[in-house]
Amino acid sequence: MLKAPKWIREKVLTKWGIVTIAFVVYILFLNEHNVLQHLQNKSKLHQLTEQKELLQDKIEADKMKIEELQTSQKNLEKFAREQFLMHKENEDVFVVVE
């Protein structure tokens, strides 16, 4: 049977050493806020931050589009024709799909 070195027996295998090791293992791996959970949360935060930036860009683009549609009748008509395939009387609409 292998014996542990003297310094391990004297310092680590005391009751305080065992309690300290158990506490560190509990803090790092077993409790609710462990290291793995922290890394997962950090990754999710990064993803959500990127998603927030993309959505903010989309909001700005949509605000500009709304402003453009509210200020010009010509742009509003163009939007209606493109998005909703509206047309004037006695006018034929051909949809060309590329």
- Least-confidence region, from 7-16, 32-41, 49-58: 7-16
Residues above pLDDT 90, as percent of the chain: 29
DSSP, res 89? T
With both helix axes pointing from N to C terminus, report the angle between 35-71 and 73-84 in degrees, rounded to the nearest 10.
Answer: 120
Summary mean pLDDT of the chain: 86
pLDDT band at 2 (very low <50, low <70, confident <90, very high): low
Distance CA 14, CA 25 (A): 17
Q: Could you tell me the pTM of the whole model?
A: 0.56
